């Protein structure tokens, strides 16, 4: 699966999470922003929205 942070445009490491599904909350390890997974495409592309501006 692949998730690009909408804030800093870096790839978010999803390997830290045992499962990723719609509604899951993830933190970008580069900029610290909190994201909520909206959708996972069949190709493995993860779409997320910002729910907290972070640090």
Summarize pLDDT for 2-51 with one digit per residue, the tens. 999 999 999 998 988 888 999 999 999 999 999 999 999 999 899 999 99
Residue 54 or residue 43, greater confidence: 43
What CA–CA distances, in Å, run from 7 to 19, 42, 45?
23, 24, 17
55 has pLDDT over 70: no
**CA separation for the pair 2, 55 (Å, rounded):** 23
> Which residues 6+ apart lie within 8 Å of 42 measured at CB?
none
pLDDT recorded at residue 54: 56
**CA separation for the pair 49, 24 (Å, rounded):** 11
The reported pTM is 0.84
49, two tokens? 């929205």
pLDDT recorded at residue 27: 92
pLDDT recorded at residue 52: 83
């Amino acid at each position: 699966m692949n998730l690009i942070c909408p804030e800093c445009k870096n790839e978010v490491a999803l390997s830290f999470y045992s499962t990723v599904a719609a509604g899951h909350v993830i933190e970008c390890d580069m900029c610290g922003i909190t994201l909520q997974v909206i959708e996972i495409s069949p190709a493995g592309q993860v779409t997320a929205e910002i729910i907290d501006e972070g640090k």
